[in-house]
Amino acid sequence: MTTAQTPDPRADEHPPVAQRSTADLVRAAVSGWLGTALEFMDFQLYSLAAALVFSQLFFSGESAGMAVVLSMATYGVGYIARPLGAIFFGRLGDRIGRRKVLFYTILLMGAATTLIGVLPTYQQVGVLAPILLVALRLLQGFGAGAEISGAGVMLAEYAPVKRRGFVASLVGLGTNCGTLFASGIWAILLGVMVESDVIAWGWRIPFIASAIVMVFAVWVRLNLKESPVFEEREDVVDGRAMSREEILAQAGQVETRTVEALQRKPIKAIAVAFFLRFGQAGNSGLIQTYLISFMTLTLALQKSLSANIVIVSSLVGFLTIPLIGFLGDRFGRRRMYIIVMSSALVVVVPAMMAIDSKNLLWVFVGYVVLHNVAVLSPASLENVSIPEIFGSRNRYTLTAVVREIAAVIATGIGPVLVAAWVAATTGSPIPIMVMLVLYSLSALIVAVWAKDWTGRDLTDPLPAM
């Protein structure tokens, strides 16, 4: 294992020309936090709804087991549109700036989330109900495809070089706040309402309430300044980046590194970023989505217990996420990835055995450990790592596309495959363990293979490796 590299000295020698005040940094952090909170609130709202009620509301014409599989499949459908949104909004963000695109994504994503709360059910309109649900999941995915990536890019480009990991971890706190808010609402609903009322109308409340977060996030982003790194880019003229053709036509007047960035294919950078994301996203899909269904349906634990477990784990995450971000700044992102994913491999089997025991205390301990080590810790590193790995010319596009393609493969498909595998093995937790090990191992291998990227100059158009 090599030691972490010293932050790129060029980052200190060439600070952004477009300076930002502390108030601007706070506003950017709040913007990223709110957008990511809304995205993951949607993530957790649907995860819990899919596990607890959606199989009855939108797929009641199927057997109980098949209804759960279809409910998880509809969850996965949202990930189909995410790469399309990543390509569309990512390229737009690299061309016209981060701020405008982040406004569009929050509006589209938030509106689709809210509208799920007014959908008719299968009993009311038949097969039209799941069709409408799929349509809104596609719109959510299209907007979300560039949301958390854009927030990570914006914070990385705003933050002081030696504090990037800690500042960008605020995006991770947004994921935690969204998860906690969604889980809290579900816990209250299941605690104060009878199940029949939850199924009849109570399930709509969390989705409609998400509009509050959307409105606040839109207001904040209307007052947000553009990324100083984007404004400083040599290929940006009057707030818009030059096209490839324009740059090559002026090759004699443009820095050699900018032209080189257009001609160089960042294969290793893409591979490293992809598998770092693949490992974290796969673990997230299994632990935050499928494992809730496994505990509720296979282990026959109370539905309210699942929501309470997620709340406790999310509260612990308020310490885990900034701590890992700080340690990434202190010891290097690559080294922390190796430590975190190695730890994930160690805890998978004992944590799943604790959950499978059905003992209340051990179920809580197993889930909290697994969630914080295998999901929240790499997520904290990921929010700054992927933007740092790519060059300034196409940072938003590659960050968004790599993140979302990895998510489609790992998170969209994973829960469906494991649901079918567990059903075939009559409720064994072994398939979950195997998949968690594979996901964690993939991120560990590329972290060992990669060159450390911590603290590099974000105005450099070339990738880190």
Check which CATH number belongs to the domain holding 322 and give it.
1.20.1250.20
| Whether this model's pTM surpasses 0.85 | no
Do residues 164 and 106 touch, judged by C-beta distance below 8 A?
no
Q: Is residue 29's pLDDT more than 80?
A: yes
Alpha helix ranges (H) inside 97-243: 98-116, 122-125, 128-144, 147-158, 164-192, 195-197, 204-222, 228-232
Q: Is residue 70's pLDDT more than 80?
A: no
Range of the domain at 370: 17-226+257-449
Q: Can you give the pLDDT at residue 372? A: 96
List of E strands, 333-381 = none
Q: Is residue 293's pLDDT more than 70?
A: yes
Average pLDDT over residues 355-377: 93
Tell me, yes or no, whether 55 lies in a domain. yes
Average pLDDT over residues 185-211: 83
| pLDDT confidence bin for 5, thresholds 50/70/90 | very low
Q: Can you give the pLDDT at residue 336? A: 97
405 class by beta-carbon count within 10 Å (0-12 exposed, 13-18 middle, 19+ buried): buried
Tell me, yes or no, whether 231 lies in a domain. no
Q: Can you give the pLDDT at residue 195? A: 74
Give the up-direction half-sphere exposure of residue 462: CA atoms within 13 A in the CB hemisphere. 9
Tell me, yes or no, whether 200 lies in a domain. yes
Tell me, yes or no, whether 360 lies in a domain. yes
Q: Which of 57, 36, 44, 122 is nearest to 306 (CA)?
A: 44
Tell me, yes or no, whether 321 lies in a domain. yes
What percentage of the chain exceeds 70 in pLDDT? 90
| Contacts of 42 by beta carbon, 8 Å cutoff, 6+ apart | 109, 113, 140, 144, 178, 182, 210
Other C-beta atoms closer than 10 Å to the C-beta of 91 total: 17
- The total domain count for the chain is 1
Do residues 229 and 16 touch, judged by C-beta distance below 8 A?
yes
Average pLDDT over residues 184-196: 81
Mean confidence (pLDDT) of the chain: 84
Q: Which of 26, 66, 83, 313 is nearest to 176 (CA)?
A: 313
Average pLDDT over residues 339-352: 97
3-state secondary structure (DSSP) of residue 31: helix
Q: Is residue 203's pLDDT more than 90?
A: no
Do residues 35 and 151 touch, judged by C-beta distance below 8 A?
yes
